[in-house]
Amino acid sequence: MGKAERDNGKAIQRLRGVGLRPTRQRVELAGVLFKGEDRHVTAESLYEEASQQGLRISLATVYNTLHQFTHAGLLRQVVVDAARGYFDTNTGDHQHFFLEDEGALIDIPGDQISVAGVPTPPAGLTVDRVDVVVRVKRA
């Protein structure tokens, strides 16, 4: 059994674990997303990357899959740019630098940054998440 197959095996387990049927497209995208280090992608960037690797997959499926992975807790959506949606393979507690000039994201570990003094939300509402975005640009 080659390396590719082992990796595929892992992706398949992961998908089954969250109740997603391991179709070719999902397994391949999981392979691209979760192979190495944590990363940030947009639907378009992932579609291009997959296409360049020779994976046959439609853009609509990339969108579907990103949302399914997000609902399943495999990805997290990051809102930093009104123009496009970013997805992060790091679903743990952390925050982001956003490089406005390039549209790139860099993780900030969750134990490094701390937010104090968040007021109680209006009645009937609960805090879902506290997002911190450190917007940086060329000096």
Residues that bind a second copy (CB under 8 A): 77, 79-82, 84-85, 97, 99-100, 106, 108, 112-119, 121-122, 124-139
The smaller minimum CB distance to DNA, of residues 24 and 121, is found at 24
CB atoms closer than 10 angstroms to residue 45: 16
Contact 20, 38 (CB under 8 A): no
CA 139, CA 133: separation in Å to the nearest integer? 18
In the list 41, 57, 74, 75, the residue contacting DNA (rule: CB under 7 A) is: 57
Q: What angle do CA 57, 99, 92 make, to 5 degrees?
A: 65
In the list 6, 13, 17, 24, the residue contacting DNA (rule: CB under 7 A) is: 24
Which stretch in 3-11, 20-28, 112-120, 127-135 sits in contact with DNA by CB under 7 A?
Answer: 20-28
